[in-house]
Amino acid sequence: MISYIIYIIAFVFANLLVQYFGSIGLIFSSLFLVPFDFIMRCFFHEKFKGKKLVFKLGLLVLLSSIITYIINFNTFNIALASCIGFLFAQVFASLFYQIFINKSYFIKVNGSDAIAIIIDSFIFQLIAFNEINIIITFSQFVLKLFGGFFWYWIIFKKLKLQEKW
């Protein structure tokens, strides 16, 4: 249960940062918050398996977007962009993860993370800001990738959560 709450908090906080700081807020949220949620998707993938994964992840994403909107009604575009971007990113990342399910955690976690990063970055910017800024997209990709490696190290190497499910 605590993993759900932390996932939602990171998601909502990332959205509120973007609402407050605009596209520059993407840079701040890209280093720690968004990669955390992408890495947690890998954790959930292992924990839930199968159809429960799709339903539960979808519910977490939708709930996080609704909470963002309830906290600040001016976040509609941000919440919508997050919801759609994360849903698409999580589906394709989950497919990659499942294809490589028998590979090392390093490959399946970071590979699926890279796919999620690209998809989310483009979809989010397009919906939230009606444009795609290549500099922001590249910056997001690099920051999210480094952030993903950081969270991979914490969750899968330091805490070894994969051994606890």
77-97 pLDDT, tens digit per residue, is: 999 999 999 999 999 999 999
Tell me what pLDDT residue 13 has. 97
The confidence band for 162, taking pLDDT boundaries of 50, 70 and 90, is: confident
What's the start-to-end Cα distance of the chain, in Å? 13
Is the predicted pLDDT of residue 106 greater than 90, yes or no? yes
User: Distance (Å, rounded) from C-alpha 92 to C-alpha 163?
Assistant: 25
User: Distance (Å, rounded) from C-alpha 141 to C-alpha 90?
Assistant: 16
- HEC-encoded secondary structure of 124-155: HHHHHHCCCCHHHHHHHHHHHHHHHHHHHHHH
Residue linked to tokens 């589906």: 91
Q: Which residues have CB under 8 Å from 155's CB, separation 6+?
A: 39, 40, 43, 161
Ranges of each domain in the chain: 2-163
The confidence band for 22, taking pLDDT boundaries of 50, 70 and 90, is: confident
Q: Which residues have CB under 8 Å from 104's CB, separation 6+?
A: none
Across all residues in the chain, what is the average pLDDT? 92
Tell me what pLDDT residue 136 has. 84
Over residues 25-66, the pLDDT tens digits come to 877 899 999 999 999 999 888 888 776 888 899 999 999 999
The confidence band for 165, taking pLDDT boundaries of 50, 70 and 90, is: low
Over residues 115-153, the pLDDT tens digits come to 999 999 999 999 998 999 898 889 889 999 999 999 999
What is the pTM (predicted TM-score) of this model?
0.91
